[in-house]
Structure 1
Amino acid sequence: MRAPCLLLSQIFLALSLIALNAPSRAQTLQIYTQSWPPYSYEHQGSLTGYSTELLQAVLQEAGIDANYTTLSWSRAYQHASTEANTLLYTTTRTPEREELFEWIGPIGLRKLWLFKLKERTDIKIKGVDDLKKYRVSIVRDTSSLQLVMERGLFPRSQIDEAPTTTSNVKKLFFKRVDLILATNGGANYELSQLAYAKDSIEPVYLLNDEFSLYFAINKKTEATTIEKIRLAFDKIKSSGLIETLKKKYKVD
């Protein structure tokens, strides 16, 4: 009986040494995002978009497995800000959020434009004082809405809150609002999905461009995981992939 037992012991020891010496992978990361074309959205049953492709490349480089969940922005933000081992994208890095996350990026500049129908030649905006003349639609529970509210850029009675950028664009064509607030990439993508001419809306005023877009990691996430992602992002950034994806998805 000693020979079989000795053989089993040798096999167990060999397997243990292999396990110890094998490269370890980080714990599976839970990813939360919203449907926000062209940054993250579903196409033919798969999650895609500028930020999605970039994040997938970063995590592959870092050797980190991930589960992706698409939720409303408010729910995605709630999960990622309270749960360990989570990452949220695409996120605006603001002073109010600074201490809540570890930030990876920037992955792009957030330029917030006010768009109008091209046929609305009566809408003219030369400065912030002109904003009070018009009704605007903004996606609810976003940093964009928070910025507008905190700075009093529009009277509260003239702000229409919408669930998505798609709703915003439709409201513009139905003439329920005069303006919508969106990124250039977001507005152009939504227009491409609707039965309207591509040049039927136009940016009329750059409202804000002081903040950038990032990947946000919950601070309770393992430090080794965060560091792997940070190093992988730096490597992907130097590869030129960011500029390639910006051209592909037509983002600023």
Structure 2
Amino acid sequence: MSKPLMALLASALLLTGGPVRAESSTSYSMALLTENFPPYNMSVDGKNYAQEADLSGIAVEIVREMYTRAGIAYTMTLRFPWERIYNTALNQPNYGVFVTARLPERESLFKWVGPIGPDDWILLAKGDSPVQVNSLDDAKRQGLRIGAYKGDAIAENLTAKGLELELSLRDQENAEKLQSGSIDVWATGDPAGRYLARQQGITRLKTVLRFQTSELFLALNKETPDDVVKRLQDALDQMRKDGAVERITASYQ
């Protein structure tokens, strides 16, 4: 084969291969929404609105690195309340929301990337509380006052099981309610609940029931191209293999 022909074929491969794929990735941009949910996502100043560099947390750092490795443009905004940003990602193309539990009833509503981290569901009580709980049915029989975060998967799950909850618009309010005795137990995630409580200066808590093991994900609007989802998942898988996920997680413990 002549050198001119080889050069022509090489040029053709470049035009139809890598550069085209890279352009399709970088030209696609997503708007990512999150909430104050330490230690996974939070605003630097603790307020309920923040953008870009004013966000921190395990999931924030993992998602940033994931999008960078995948070569996909994005913006990142923290807003309030959770129901608003969840529904925006559910209904608006090019939007995503993190972190959220990948539940059976949500499976077909989004395209998923993850898992980003664990989120066991627990009932927390004050360290000196006499409360003992063997199951959710036991908590219901005892008539315990259960605090939970409105719109959160934990609250939805417990409500569906017939438990009556005292709902708060911010999960950290439940730490305060527990401390003041306004509620008997707090239905929250682990490690998120204890992290929130420490921010409030509350450290003497005990787990009285661990009732579900869950994983947290990035949920993308269903119209997100499959190629974009795959690039993100591949990037996250590589981050887990090379230790990036472990290093980020460890920095918040």
* Corresponding residue of 1:11: none
In the alignment, is residue 205 of structure 1 matched against residue 213 of structure 2? no
Q: Tell me the TM-score normalized by structure 2.
A: 0.82
Higher relative contact order structure (alpha carbons within 8 Å, sequence separation ≥ 6):
1
In the alignment, is residue 232 of structure 1 matched against residue 240 of structure 2? no
Unaligned residue ranges in structure 1 (runs of 5+): 1-16
Cα pair distance change 1:21/1:184, threshold 3 Å: closer
What are the within-5 Å matches in structure 2 for residues 3-42 of structure 1?
Answer: 23-24=22-23, 25-42=26-43
* Corresponding residue of 1:12: none
How far apart, in 1, do the equivalents of 2:120 and 2:138 lie? 19
Given that residues 111 and 206 in structure 1 are in contact (C-alpha distance below 8 angstroms), is that contact kept between their aligned partners in structure 2?
A: yes
How far apart, in 1, do the equivalents of 2:201 and 2:159 lie? 32
Q: C-alpha displacement at 1:21, in angstroms? A: 5.2
What are the within-5 Å matches in structure 2 for residues 19-98 of structure 1?
Answer: 23-24=22-23, 25-44=26-45, 46-71=54-79, 72-98=81-107
* Corresponding residue of 1:5: none
How far apart, in 2, do the equivalents of 1:222 and 1:21 lie? 18
SS of the residue corresponding to residue 183 of structure 1 reads strand
* Corresponding residue of 1:160: 166
In the alignment, is residue 135 of structure 1 matched against residue 145 of structure 2? yes
Cα pair distance change 1:21/1:208, threshold 3 Å: closer
Q: C-alpha displacement at 1:108, in angstroms? A: 2.2
Q: Tell me the TM-score normalized by structure 1.
A: 0.83
Given candidates 93, 97, 118, the residue that maps to 1:109 is: 118
In the alignment, is residue 184 of structure 1 matched against residue 190 of structure 2? yes
Q: C-alpha displacement at 1:226, in angstroms? A: 2.0
Cα pair distance change 1:195/1:235, threshold 3 Å: closer
How far apart, in 2, do the equivalents of 1:213 and 1:21 lie? 33
How far apart, in 2, do the equivalents of 1:127 and 1:94 lie? 20
* Corresponding residue of 2:201: 195
How far apart, in 1, do the equivalents of 2:239 and 2:93 lie? 25
Q: Rg bigger for which structure? A: 1
The share of aligned pairs that are identical, in percent, is 24
Unaligned residue ranges in structure 2 (runs of 5+): 1-14
Q: C-alpha displacement at 1:202, in angstroms? A: 1.4
In the alignment, is residue 215 of structure 1 matched against residue 225 of structure 2? no
Q: C-alpha displacement at 1:51, in angstroms? A: 0.7
Cα pair distance change 1:186/1:21, threshold 3 Å: closer
Amino acid at match of 1:140: K
In the alignment, is residue 246 of structure 1 matched against residue 249 of structure 2? yes
User: How many residues were matched structurally?
Assistant: 224
